[in-house]
Amino acid sequence: MALLLGGGLLSPALARAEITESDFLDDLPVVLSASRLSQPVNETPAAVTVIDQPMIRASGFRDIPDLLRLVPGFSVAYTRDNTWAIGYHGMADAFSRRFQVLVDGRSIYSAAYGQVNWGELPLSIDDIERIEVVRGPNAATYGANAFLAVINIITKDPSQTLGDFASVQYGEQGMSGLTLRHGGEQGDLRYRVTLSAQTRDRFETDVRDGNAAAKMYEETQTYFLSGRGDYRISSSDEFSAQFGLSVGDWQAGYSRNPEEPTGQNVSAQYVQFKYRRVRDADDEWMVQAYFSRNVLDAPNVTPLVPPVFPIVTPFLLDAGVDVTQTRANLEFQANRRITADWRMVWGAEVRHETVESQRYLNTHDTLGGTLGRAYANLEWRARPDLLVQGGAMLEHHYFTGTDVSPRAAVNYTLAEGHTLRLNVSQAYRSPTFFEQKGNVSYYTTTGTLLEQVFAPSSPLRPERILSREIGYVGDYAAMHVQLDIKLFRDTIHDHINSSGSPGRFTNREDFSVRGGDLQLHWQPVSNLRLSAQYARAFIDAGPSVDRDLARSAPRNSFSLLARYDLGQGWMASAGAYRSGRMKWLSEGDVTQAFTRWDARLARRWKWEGREVETALVGQNLGKDYGEFREENVFSRRVYGSLSLAW
């Protein structure tokens, strides 16, 4: 359990034994993200998808958001200016405002806009142990903003990364990457340090905007350094420390919008400390603290003269994009087995967040707020075939006051290997700083207000979701098949959206989302593994909510990842990703249905004591398709990679 938590107190032999794919296919995976208790996926109170290391390698993806294409119901797209849009059963926009994303327990959800700054995240995809995705609201466990799903990224324990590692990628469409890692141990200390440089140019630079030619500037160069050290104090106590920093020199902007900044300078830093005492698998507690800081600076000195103001001077000046965000967090958590049939996890957390942005908040002041929360989750084994779970989060948010997010679930074993799950939960999403206090205004050089694009909102109520889920998890051992089916109906209250001129965010009427997810893992023969995902979703929303909302989920989406061991170190894999027609919110376009085909051929062998792997990856080997916006043309590209470990 502790290893899955990201650095537990295990014997040296167990700690150094790398978790393999058989651990997840021979038996049902054990996860932690649904309730903070260690549970096999057939006993979790909500549906969970696990993306493990073999799946990550086989996919050929080198950007973390792309991996979410392997989760049923997820829509993924690169927008521009190095941002990603992610949706789950709709409500998909450029900011991904309705997810809680964690890295080793550290929230990377942005308080300013709600987005996740994937591009500047100081984390190498080679350092990821696994990703657990809770498909559905999980505020009872992680509080506000665990609204549609929780994405929990768990990095490798330093004991899994002993020695040196180097990886390089190079290919078409400006794709290149270099990663260097060193891991070691001295007595009771285990550590790793990773250095990486990544370059991307997502789309074709020359695009068409109607009948006119235009240019989209998207090339990015990002560098980061991260490290982690785990120190064993005693047989039951361990102290862990992590750090990360990144800097990026990014091109941005669109030639048809000359007022937009043409470059961005980004940086991110964090430090994280954790102390854990583990008496046994069902009796432990931990204290965690972290601090993070993110900065975006995109100066723009281009004079802007909107056509609604037929003046030549004084010029209208845009102050450019400037955003600084910080988060300081302190958390306590305790796990305890009360009796043979009862388990409990409880904890408390306090967090202080600040945002500073003259461009988006129209002030030089630093805005901030402190939130506090307390939670508890109980698990009761009422009978050998019946598991009852309940929990709640009590939270006080600086914008919306106090809310309670409860959940109740029942897992009933119909027969060995076949479990039925019933789950009812409620979650909240608090407004971001921009939604509540956003103020975008243009002034002349003499200080006269010419136009206000966004104005501060009246006090907003938090969005609320009531989710009802019926799930089935089947383990057909004789056929080497694992099946996970989820049927759901979600009702969203007080949906937050903008309207008017100037724009203001308001709470809208209720709407509902219904549908189902399916994921299947199949190993028909020992050297062939297939993972298939399918989702179908319907949004029932009237025009008074948002005329585009009902189209924000593809009616059908599908993905398939097949991996075949050819022998003698050769491995072939292929992925198919199908998305139906949908409308991306927040300045996105209607994108037509597309099917993307990827393939990877790799070989691993030993050379002079080194583990060597070479791979050739082809992405989108079929037709070009539009992603998020019509001009975002994702074309075919190929890259090669080489990695060495010693």
pLDDT digits (tens, 9 = 90+) for 517-537: 999 999 999 999 999 999 999
- For range 334-354, the mean pLDDT: 96
Report yes or no: 152 and 33 within 8 Å, Cβ to Cβ: yes
Rounded CA-CA distance 646/643 in Å is 10
Strands 74-78 and 48-52, sheet pairing: unpaired
**Does 137 sit behind a cis peptide bond, omega within 30 degrees of 0 on the bond before it?**
no
pLDDT tens profile 586-595: 888 899 999 9
Q: State the residue for tokens 């060995």.
A: 416
Question: Which backbone phi and psi does 218 adopt, to 5 degrees?
Answer: -135, 0
Residue spans of beta strands (DSSP E) within 416-480: 418-429, 440-444, 449-454, 463-476
- Transcribe 595-631 into DSSP letters: EEEEEEEEEEEEETTEEEEEEEEEE--S--EEESEEE
Q: How far is CA 316 from CA 262, 304, 305, 311, 368, in A?
A: 18, 5, 6, 10, 30
Question: Looking at the predicted structure, is the pLDDT value of residue 317 above 70?
Answer: no
- Transcribe 354-372 into DSSP letters: EEE-HHHHS-SSPEEEEEE
Question: Looking at the predicted structure, is the pLDDT value of residue 166 above 50?
Answer: yes
Band of pLDDT at residue 26, cut at 50, 70 and 90: low
pLDDT at 321: 67
Rounded CA-CA distance 365/385 in Å is 57
- For range 552-563, the mean pLDDT: 96
Rounded CA-CA distance 71/249 in Å is 31
pLDDT at 447: 75
Report yes or no: 153 and 123 within 8 Å, Cβ to Cβ: yes
pLDDT at 14: 32
Residues above pLDDT 90, as percent of the chain: 72
pLDDT at 197: 96
Band of pLDDT at residue 9, cut at 50, 70 and 90: very low
Distance of CA 145 to the CA centre of its chain: 12
Question: Which backbone phi and psi does 254 adopt, to 5 degrees?
Answer: -140, 130
- For range 293-315, the mean pLDDT: 56
Q: How far is CA 412 from CA 134, 422, 469, in A?
A: 19, 9, 14
* DSSP bridge partners of 62: none
pLDDT at 320: 59
Smallest CA-to-CA distance from 289 within 279, 301, 275, 303 is with: 275
- For range 452-463, the mean pLDDT: 93
pLDDT at 206: 73
Q: How far is CA 560 from CA 364, 414, 616, in A?
A: 49, 29, 19
Name which residue leads in pLDDT, 262 or 604: 604
Q: How many of the other CB atoms lie within 10 Å of CB of 501?
A: 10
Plot region of 129 (φ>0 → left; ψ -120 to 50 → alpha; else → beta):
alpha
Cβ neighbours of residue 237 under 8 Å, at least 6 residues apart? 9, 275, 276, 277, 278
pLDDT at 210: 66
pLDDT at 124: 95
Question: Looking at the predicted structure, is the pLDDT value of residue 81 above 90?
Answer: no
Three-state DSSP at 614 gives strand
Rounded CA-CA distance 177/160 in Å is 22
Which DSSP state fits 34?
T
Report yes or no: 613 and 603 within 8 Å, Cβ to Cβ: yes
Band of pLDDT at residue 450, cut at 50, 70 and 90: confident
Q: What is the mean pLDDT of the chain?
A: 89
- For range 280-295, the mean pLDDT: 94
Greatest mean pLDDT among 84-98, 502-516, 620-634: 502-516
Name which residue leads in pLDDT, 516 or 543: 516
pLDDT at 306: 44
Band of pLDDT at residue 307, cut at 50, 70 and 90: very low
Strands 504-507 and 511-525, sheet pairing: unpaired
- Domains of the chain are 12-175+316-324+351-370+377-645 (2.40.170.20)
Report yes or no: 368 and 353 within 8 Å, Cβ to Cβ: yes
pLDDT at 441: 85
- For range 94-121, the mean pLDDT: 90
Question: Which backbone phi and psi does 34 adopt, to 5 degrees?
Answer: -75, -45
Count, residues in the chain: 646
pLDDT at 21: 43
**Does 502 sit behind a cis peptide bond, omega within 30 degrees of 0 on the bond before it?**
yes
Smallest CA-to-CA distance from 203 within 86, 75, 81, 93 is with: 81
Rounded CA-CA distance 264/250 in Å is 5
Band of pLDDT at residue 3, cut at 50, 70 and 90: very low
Three-state DSSP at 160 gives helix
Question: Looking at the predicted structure, is the pLDDT value of residue 2 above 80?
Answer: no
Question: Looking at the predicted structure, is the pLDDT value of residue 19 above 60?
Answer: no
Q: What is the enclosing helix (H) or strand (E) of 178?
A: strand 176-186
Rounded CA-CA distance 1/14 in Å is 11
Terminal alpha carbon distance of the chain: 28
Question: Looking at the predicted structure, is the pLDDT value of residue 17 above 50?
Answer: no
